[in-house]
Amino acid sequence: MANKVEIADILDLLEQVETEDPIDWGMLAIDERNATEMIVSSLVDQYNREWGQLEPDVQAHAMLATIAKLVIENFTLNLRLRQ
């Protein structure tokens, strides 16, 4: 079993990534911090319950497939917004 992931650790890493590539929250009528904490909390909970139980190679493949799906969704959304 993998080590338990803590929400604060992911929020810290996310903050570092956000510095390099910030998300434009300006058009949204939601609180950035609350939304981020809610999403990270949900993901960490899912990881600790399910993903962390997978064998490392299966875990890596599943996470990379999920990341690829999110990047593709983000890419297509950005293209649509620019049209």
pLDDT tens across 4-54, in order?
889 999 999 998 888 887 888 887 889 989 999 999 999 999 888 888 888
Q: What is the pTM of this model?
A: 0.72
Enclosing H/E stretch for 53: none
DSSP string for residues in 21-47: S----TT--S-HHHHHHHHHHHHHHHH
Domain residue spans of the chain = 1-49, 55-83
Q: Are 69 and 75 in contact (CB under 8 A)?
A: no
Paired tokens of 62 = 């599943």
- pLDDT 10s digits, 41-65: 999 998 888 888 888 889 889 888 9
